[in-house]
């Protein structure tokens, strides 16, 4: 059997987080959505399907076929929608008859035998599922499907707990100072062999488990509340890491962070509050950058999605920041702010506009095109500092994303010239 | 002085808070007029707004003197308003 993880057509609901990555690469908990899905059948070979524009970078990142129609032939298939948040592998039984699986109105996958798949002669999962038609029954199953980017934040605490259980390890294996403490059950903490926890660190596991992965260093005067996942090579430089945080690899984090996901390779080194936020890779938040995640009237938060303000139905929503974006010292991000890819946000002394399009400098209340080639050079420098290089495929994807987002950027630049940015 | 040169002089003087008479074709934005990196970005944006043009930011930020800015802007105007 082959496991097919695919991105469906709703990737725009996660933009700008998905401008440079597939939906199934988004982090929720300790792992990405796709990494969780592989637990359905860890022994099975995997193939991926996503937007064609992403294929070259996915082929570099994932050690598996991408958008290869041959993956849909030659074996029985288990197709899984990459938006399924798999909290328990038993949710998705591997064996059984051919059937389409749905969760509410969303198709979350299908089990297709080799003969049926080959008869369908489809080149992509959606095409294959459509070809199955009425010949294969649809079964409703219970599960969690993420439909909007703020739902990743909403589900993050429970995903961290699920990932802790799935990893199956606990205990302090690495260096743990005699002057650090676990407040709560020691069964709810894992300190990996090469991790270091310095003196005057408090790990509070009363609210959930805490994983401190390989190579992590926790500096003194840090309080970490579970559930929490700190990814390999990340350094916590002091501060309050409150419940529900996931930090991917090689981040630098300090200050106060609550219920937030930092995808990886990003810095929030200094004081300042980050709450209910999703921060992509290669982001640098300047000192005292702070976001609001709760309105003063406790009403639900609106977020710009595909050019329209959308009611999230949630009262706690922070900000969403695309890859390679930098904020200046003292930046204040409004509740539910969306900042695109490769932006340079300069503090104005007031709250930012709620939507900052990709590839702009925001300066003195105006949006200005970035100097793209100079900013790409800066990105290469930032990546080299973490021993990574920007591949040709990644550079081409950034260029394509810049072209894709030009209409919304031009509109914002024009409007900010005429009237100032929208609220 | 051309219309473009006069408008470049006025925008530069206003943004960098210098006397218009101090803005000469040979004036170097950084060395003579004290433009900081952020002000250079603001200047490019202000020229785009003043002349209703879109400049390549990398090329625009590489321009170093007022006279070269006038030449560059005249070229962009010719391309985009032709």
pLDDT at A267 over 90: yes
What does each C-alpha distance from A109 to A74, A172, A211, A422 come to in angstroms?
19, 39, 31, 40
Contact B58 A346 (CB under 8 A): no
Long-range contact pairs involving A232-238 (C-beta distance under 8 Å, separation at least 24): A232/A192, A237/A269
- A289: exposed, middle or buried (C-beta count within 10 Å: 0-12, 13-18, 19+)? buried
Would you mind telling me the total number of residues written for chain A in this entry? 423
> What residue in A sits closest to B38 (Cα-Cα)?
A363
A413 Cβ contact list (under 8 Å, min separation 6): A360, A366, A367, A368, A369
Q: By CA distance, what is B44's nearest residue in A?
A: A368
Q: Which fold has domain B3-80?
A: 1.10.1200
Region class of A376: left (phi > 0), else alpha (psi between -120 and 50), else beta: alpha
What confidence score (pLDDT) does residue B10 get?
95
Residue B2 is predicted with a pLDDT of 85
Q: Which residue has the higher pLDDT, A282 or A134?
A: A282
Which domains, ranges and CATH numbers included, belong to chain A? 2-147 (3.90.550.30), 151-418 (2.160.10.10)
Q: Is B36 on the interface with A (CB under 8 A)?
A: no
pTM: 0.95
Q: Residue A45: what pLDDT?
A: 97
Question: A394-404: per-residue pLDDT in tens?
Answer: 999 999 999 99
Distance from CA of A288 to the nearest CA of B (A): 20
Question: What pLDDT, on a 0 to 100 scale, did the predictor assign at position A420?
Answer: 66
Confidence at residue A422, expressed as pLDDT on a 0 to 100 scale: 61
- The answer to whether residue B37 scores a pLDDT higher than 80 is yes
CA–CA distance, A396 with A50 (Å, rounded to integer):
17
Q: B63 — contact with chain A (CB < 8 Å)? A: no
Average pLDDT over residues A72-96: 92
Q: What would the mean pLDDT of A344-372 be, rounded to a whole number?
A: 94
Whether B45 contacts chain A with CB within 8 A: yes
pLDDT in tens, A206-229: 999 999 999 999 999 999 999 999
- Residues in A touching B11 (Cβ below 8 Å): none
Residue B11: HSE in the Cβ half-sphere, 13 Å Cα cutoff:
23
* Residue of A243 and A94 predicted with greater confidence: A243
For the segment A129-177, what is each residue's pLDDT rounded down to a tens digit? Answer: 999 887 899 999 888 999 999 999 999 999 999 999 999 999 999 999 9
ipTM score for this prediction: 0.84
């Amino acid at each position: 059997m082959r496991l097919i993880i695919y991105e469906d057509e709703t990737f725009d609901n996660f933009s700008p987080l998905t401008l440079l990555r597939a939906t199934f690469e988004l982090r929720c908990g300790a792992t990405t959505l796709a990494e969780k899905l592989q637990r359905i059948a860890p022994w099975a070979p995997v193939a991926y399907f996503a937007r064609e524009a992403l294929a070259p970078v996915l082929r570099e990142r994932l050690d598996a076929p991408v958008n290869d129609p041959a993956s849909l032939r030659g074996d029985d298939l288990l197709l899984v929608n990459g938006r399924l948040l798999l909290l328990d592998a038993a949710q998705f039984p591997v064996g059984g008859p051919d059937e389409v699986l749905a969760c509410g109105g969303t198709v979350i996958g299908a089990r297709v035998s080799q003969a049926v798949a080959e008869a369908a002669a489809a080149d992509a999962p959606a095409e294959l599922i459509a070809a199955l038609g009425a010949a294969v029954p649809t079964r409703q199953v219970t599960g969690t499907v993420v439909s909007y980017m703020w739902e990743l934040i909403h589900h993050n605490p429970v995903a961290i707990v699920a990932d802790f259980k799935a990893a199956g390890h606990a205990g302090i294996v690495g260096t743990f100072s005699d002057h650090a403490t676990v407040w709560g059950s020691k069964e709810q903490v894992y300190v990996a062999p090469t991790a270091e926890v310095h003196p005057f660190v408090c790990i509070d596991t009363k609210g959930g488990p805490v994983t401190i992965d390989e190579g992590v260093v926790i500096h003194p005067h840090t309080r970490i509340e579970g559930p929490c996942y700190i990814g390999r090579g990340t350094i916590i430089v002091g501060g309050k890491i409150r419940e529900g945080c996931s930090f991917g690899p090689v981040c630098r984090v300090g200050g106060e962070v609550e219920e937030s996901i930092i995808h990886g390779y990003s810095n929030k080194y200094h004081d300042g509050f980050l709450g209910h936020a999703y921060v992509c890779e290669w982001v640098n938040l300047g000192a005292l950058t702070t976001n609001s995640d709760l309105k003063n009237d406790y009403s639900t938060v609106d977020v710009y999605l595909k050019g329209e303000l959308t009611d999230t139905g949630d009262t706690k929503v922070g900000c969403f920041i695309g890859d390679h974006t930098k904020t200046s010292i003292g930046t204040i991000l409004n509740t539910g702010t969306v900042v695109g890819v490769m932006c340079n946000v300069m503090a104005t002394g007031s709250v930012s506009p709620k939507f900052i399009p990709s590839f702009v400098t925001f300066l003195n209340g105006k949006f200005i095109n970035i100097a793209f080639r100079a900013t790409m050079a800066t990105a290469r420098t930032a990546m080299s500092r973490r021993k990574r290089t920007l591949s040709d495929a990644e550079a081409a994807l950034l260029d394509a994303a810049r072209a894709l987002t030009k209409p919304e950027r031009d509109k914002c630049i024009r409007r900010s010239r005429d009237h100032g940015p929208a609220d | 002085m051309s219309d473009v040169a006069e408008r470049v002089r006025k925008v530069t003087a206003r943004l960098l808070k210098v006397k218009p008479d101090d803005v000469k074709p040979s004036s170097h934005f950084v060395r003579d007029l004290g433009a900081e990196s952020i002000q250079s970005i603001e200047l490019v944006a202000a020229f785009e707004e003043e002349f209703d043009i879109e400049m390549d930011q990398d090329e625009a930020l590489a321009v170093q003197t007022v006279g070269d800015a006038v030449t560059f802007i005249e070229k962009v105007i010719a391309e985009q308003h032709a």
